[in-house]
Amino acid sequence: MENLDILCKKIISKIDEADDLNTLNAVRIDYLGKKGEITKLMKELTNLTHEEKKSYGKNINTLKVKVLDSIENKKVYLEKKIILDNINKERLDITLPERSYSSGHIHPISHTIEEVIEIFKPMGFSVAEGPDIEDDFHNFTALNFPPDHPAREMHDTFFLNESNNGEKLLMRTHTSPVQIRVMKDNEPPIRVLAPGRTYRCDYDITHTPMFHQVEGLVIDKKVNMGHLKGCLTTFVESFFGINNLPVRFRPSYFPFTEPSAEVDIGCQRKDGEFKIGDGGEWLEILGCGMVHHNVLKACGLDPNEYQGFAFGVGVERIAMLKYGITDLRMFFDCDLRWIKHYGFSFLDKFDGNN
Ligand code: DAH
């Protein structure tokens, strides 16, 4: 009897210690399996007298029932624990703050080009493109550049080693060659904008070897300088968002236009501050003019039938003025902090007045 009590305590403490189902099952086999200790004791009952069997048998049975119950209880406990552990492990903590993500920004150059396009769209302009690698004909000759023009020199233009059927290839120095391509490929009336990269052999605080321009070209019958003035005045007023912005068309020279002009806008520089709109000072903003008859002829158009005007705007320049960007070189430095500061979200809307 005393032995059974000791055995019972030993088994119960083993059950208590079992902290997983395998260990618990091993305890069950050790005591209640075919060769288990309790099973053995029950088999030995056959050797006892009837009286002994009665009392000892009852005690062993009580022990057996107690052990079975304890094992069953522990089993239920361990199974629940497994489920709870899994629930805890798999729990989704919705109180955690969201993982931060950073979205990209639209580069001020792309944004400014889009703005320019949006302003000209309602005036009937569509967008044309030309290659960055040009030939001498489109970049210079057809645009009426004289053979000795300085732009044809190595120090201004990046010439490439390969030639195009004996003609020198170069990185286009302006977007004006797109005018030639458009006039050769399309019948007037023509109203196009040609934004794109341009290249010049120049690098200092106000020049980078690659920069951007937007070219404009209008060809039709009876186009005159009044159309040019109206169109470009509308553009600068919309772009800078200032009604009645002072605009001046100052006579200038470009080989491909006659007459030629540069457009200045009114501004004021005072106490280190720069303001567009007021003041008695002028700031050059773009080049323009009536398309030269030699250019029309080079494209197969009759200057007696068709006239037109053209203009070219430096994208970096107008972006710097509008968005207060002071260092030209930062446009191309790929500094993410700069892009985050000066760049635009794709959700930023513009209506020509911001
Ligand atoms: N192509 C000129 C340049 O790069 C800019 C320009 C001036 C374009 C007058 C034009 C124009 O179309 O009419 O400096």
Q: The CATH number of the domain where 284 resides is what?
A: 3.30.930.10
pLDDT, residue 354, reads: 45
Contact 190, 142 (CB under 8 A): no
301 lines ligand 1 (CB under 6 A): no
Distance of CA 114 to the CA centre of its chain: 15
- Domain co-membership, 258 together with 303: yes
Contact 178, 310 (CB under 8 A): no
- Domain co-membership, 60 together with 15: yes
- Domain annotation covers residue 267: yes
- Domain co-membership, 155 together with 80: no
Dihedral (Cα; 285, 107, 176, 251), 10-degree rounding = 0
- Domain annotation covers residue 352: no
Q: Which atom of ligand 1 is the closest one to the Cα of 173?
A: 4
Q: Whole-model pTM? A: 0.74
Taking CA atoms only, the protein residue closest to ligand 1 atom 6 is: 312
CA 221 / ligand 1 centre spacing (Å): 22
- Domain annotation covers residue 102: no
237 lines ligand 1 (CB under 6 A): no
Q: What is the pLDDT of residues 267-295, one digit of tens each?
A: 998 887 888 997 789 999 999 999 999 99
Instruction: Count the domains in the chain.
Output: 2
Taking CA atoms only, the protein residue closest to ligand 1 atom 3 is: 174
- Domain annotation covers residue 97: no
Distance of CA 273 to the CA centre of its chain: 33
**Domain carrying residue 15:** 2-89
- Domain co-membership, 80 together with 127: no
CA 320 / ligand 1 centre spacing (Å): 19
- Domain co-membership, 83 together with 121: no
Q: pLDDT tens per residue, the chain (354 residues)?
A: 558 889 999 999 999 999 999 999 999 999 999 999 999 998 888 888 888 888 888 899 999 999 999 999 999 999 999 999 998 888 777 888 888 888 889 999 999 999 999 999 999 999 999 999 999 999 999 999 988 888 787 778 999 987 778 888 999 999 999 999 999 999 999 999 999 999 999 888 889 999 999 999 999 999 999 999 999 999 999 999 999 999 999 999 999 999 999 999 999 988 878 889 977 899 999 999 999 999 999 999 999 999 999 999 999 999 999 999 999 999 999 999 999 999 998 777 665 444
Q: Which atom of ligand 1 is the closest one to the Cα of 289?
A: 13
- Domain co-membership, 123 together with 252: yes
- Domain co-membership, 35 together with 152: no
CA 333 / ligand 1 centre spacing (Å): 26
- Of 89, 123, 140, which residue is a domain's last? 89
CA 108 / ligand 1 centre spacing (Å): 22
Kindly list the distances between the CA atom of residue 10 and the CA atoms of 3, 14, 16, in Å, as whole numbers in the listed order: 10, 6, 10
Q: Which atom of ligand 1 is the closest one to the Cα of 257?
A: 13
Count of Cβ atoms closer than 10 Å to residue 42 Cβ: 16
Q: How many CA atoms lie within 13 A of 282 on its CB side?
A: 11
215 lines ligand 1 (CB under 6 A): yes
- Domain co-membership, 82 together with 158: no
- Domain co-membership, 23 together with 119: no
- Domain annotation covers residue 103: no
- Domain co-membership, 85 together with 115: no
254 lines ligand 1 (CB under 6 A): yes
- Over the range 126-150, which residues count as b (16 or more CB within 10 Å of their CB) and which as e? eebebeeebbbebbbbbbbbeeeee
Nearest residue to 323 (alpha-carbon basis) of 107, 117, 104: 107
- Domain co-membership, 20 together with 138: no
287 lines ligand 1 (CB under 6 A): yes
- Of 27, 56, 89, which residue is a domain's last? 89
DSSP tag of 327:
-
288 lines ligand 1 (CB under 6 A): yes
Q: Which atom of ligand 1 is the closest one to the Cα of 175?
A: 1
- Domain co-membership, 175 together with 309: yes
pLDDT, residue 2, reads: 57
pLDDT, residue 99, reads: 86
DSSP tag of 189:
P
pLDDT, residue 244, reads: 92
Kindly list the distances between the CA atom of residue 74 and the CA atoms of 22, 70, 274, in Å, as whole numbers in the listed order: 12, 6, 83
- Of 89, 120, 136, which residue is a domain's last? 89
- Determine the straight-line distance between the first and last CA of the chain, rounded to whole angstroms: 98
pLDDT, residue 25, reads: 95
Q: Looking at the chain, list the stretches that DSSP marks H as alpha helix, in order from N- to C-terminal side.
A: 2-17, 21-32, 37-44, 50-90, 108-120, 136-139, 177-185, 225-240, 293-298, 315-323, 336-342
- Domain annotation covers residue 113: yes
Q: What is the pLDDT of residues 139-163, one digit of tens each?
A: 999 999 988 888 787 778 999 987 7
CA 213 / ligand 1 centre spacing (Å): 9
